Amino acid sequence: MPRYNTSFDLDVQDLELIEDALRARKSDLSLERLALLGGDGGAPDPEALAALDATISATHVLLGRLHNQKVFYRPETVQNAPYISG
């Protein structure tokens, strides 16, 4: 029986492309939700609204999980000095 691949060979540019695509998808879904809410003046379909909300939430959680797996580095030249950005 086939198993899931647990190791991926992605570089920083690949992850940036994935994150940009997820953000664009989330933006499209949000615009679709706004159109559904402000449509023809009638009540929006609650099932369609719930499905959009679930998809937006799942996309947001996935973006958060990707962000939390990143390792942010401090410049090596000033390890003992206080770090001042900018």
Number of domains into which the chain is organized: 1
d(CA 76, CA 73): 8
Q: Within a domain: residue 53?
A: yes
Handedness of CA 75, 78, 82, 84 (dihedral sign): negative
Q: Within a domain: residue 75?
A: no
pTM for the whole structure: 0.73
pLDDT digits (tens, 9 = 90+) for 48-78: 999 999 999 999 999 999 999 888 776 666 5
Taking alpha carbons only, the member of 64, 33, 67, 68 closest to residue 48 is 33
Q: Within a domain: residue 20?
A: no
Range of the domain at 57: 45-69
Q: Within a domain: residue 55?
A: yes
Q: Within a domain: residue 54?
A: yes
Is there a contact between 37 and 46 (Cβ–Cβ < 8 Å)? no
Q: Within a domain: residue 50?
A: yes
Q: Within a domain: residue 49?
A: yes
Q: Within a domain: residue 12?
A: no
pLDDT digits (tens, 9 = 90+) for 8-39: 888 889 999 999 999 999 999 999 999 998 87
